[in-house]
Amino acid sequence: MVSRVFIFLPAKVTVQSGDWNMLVNMPGQRAAWENMSWLGPVAFTPEEQAFAKAIQKATQTEEKGLAGAVKPLEGNPGPPEGGSTDVADVSWTVPVIHLSVTTAPLGAPWHAWPVAACGGMSIGHKGMVFASKALATTMVDLFRDPQLVQSVRQDFAKKTEGVTYQPYIAPGPPSLP
């Protein structure tokens, strides 16, 4: 049997959206990581782990459960893994401190029922409370430590030197075909 694949290319390509890569601000990331480490891992119950594994089984992903531990901060990490985010564009205009917390099982498909199911129960609540505490303690550090603020600003200035942020989408209302 012979298979043939036909690829039809459009005569014109139009960019309708896009995001810049996340600009990681290491002094800010380090401050947030130190606070996350101070808070310690998110403790999930055996029932929450069982629920997470049931979701992983239903979505045909490896049954690892929930990861509540704070990952190590290594050197100068690149952009956060996977997906896209509009806060990445913001990170090129002002310093941004970005953190990720567990609110759903590892490998669960995002923007789908598994994440919604976990977000509406204790799993999502624990993750959001942890994130709120990490952000709040980091803000306290920024308010109390002018040197930290200066380090964040210097890192941002160095990484954006010579770069002019231009969004991928043209200003104004979108053009309709």
Tens of pLDDT along 164-173?
Answer: 998 877 778 8
Across 11-20, 47-56, 93-102, 109-118, least confident range: 11-20
Residue 14 has pLDDT above 70, yes or no: no
Q: Where are the domains of the chain?
A: 26-160
The pLDDT-based confidence of 1 (bands split at 50, 70, 90) is: very low
Q: What is the pLDDT of residue 22?
A: 86
Average pLDDT of the residues of the chain: 87
For the cut 50, the answer to whether the pLDDT of residue 24 exceeds it is yes
Q: What is the pTM of this model?
A: 0.81
Match 């090129």 to its residue by tokens.
92
